[in-house]
Structure 1
């Protein structure tokens, strides 16, 4: 029996705001969408145009309060081929929430408080 990664989920309060953030911050684009027939939820899957892995953004119609993300000890990690330019871009966006210069990484935060680790490609 084999398993492979397919997708990861973040629940979001403002779907359009989140889509805009992921497009601007990471270049992620919508690859598919599922709208519930009764309008109660929307699932949007974002891709990086290079791997088959997707980030699922789930919007729930009746959800109004922010999600409890605990101590934010979980995160999504992405690699970049140009760490310096990525850092500068995220700095201008104002979304860097933590930097670890000793490890050579930093984190950005999306509109709902989810952390995304930015890692340089290793050569």
Structure 2
């Protein structure tokens, strides 16, 4: 049976730049790497939480991606998270607002133009009530 979501994958242009963003700016940890059978680098896994990873694939393209294809991180305190990211040099592309589902959210872009949403859940939101 399905237990949950294990990972989300992104193609990246510059692996070191992306690792700096996900590890030093967002605070995640590099977990492990996988190489192609030929020995060429293929994927670097970044650990978000126990059993939850971001896959960073080599061979990405520059440019802002479709916002519908994003990842969302749930946070305890939206204000605190936004301030911490700003201090670490991550600009908010979309400032904190209350979404249609009653949760507070803001958005940033990773170095490859992938949209990342941060969300503080409202107990009255449909997410929490379903």
SS in 2 for 1:96: coil
| Corresponding position: 1:87 with 2:82 | yes
SS of equivalent residue, structure 2 residue 98: coil
- In the other structure, the counterpart of 2:94 is 98
Q: Name the CA shift for 1:83/1:100 in 2 (closer, same or farther; >3 Å).
A: closer
Distance 1:21 1:68, change over 3 A: closer
By how many angstroms is 1:108 displaced? Answer: 1.0
DSSP 3-state at the match of 2:32 = strand
Who is 1:72 aligned against? 67
Residues 1-12 of structure 1 mapped to structure 2, 5 A cutoff: 2-3=1-2, 4-12=4-12
- Mean alpha-carbon deviation: is it higher for 98-107 or for 109-118? 98-107
Q: What is the CA–CA distance in structure 1 between the aligned matches of 2:68 and 2:121, rounded to whole Å?
A: 23
Going from structure 1 to structure 2, the CA distance change for 1:29 and 1:39 (only over 3 Å counts) comes to: same
Q: TM-score, normalised by structure 2?
A: 0.76
Pairwise CA RMSD:
2.2
Deviations 1:31-67 (A, max 9, x none): 111122435442011112x33111100013xx6x426
**d(CA) in 1 for partners of 2:112, 2:74:** 21
Could you tell me which residue of structure 1 aligns to residue 128 of structure 2? none
- In the TM superposition, structure 1's runs of 4+ consecutive aligned residues that sit over 4 Å from their partners are none
Q: TM-score, normalised by structure 1?
A: 0.79
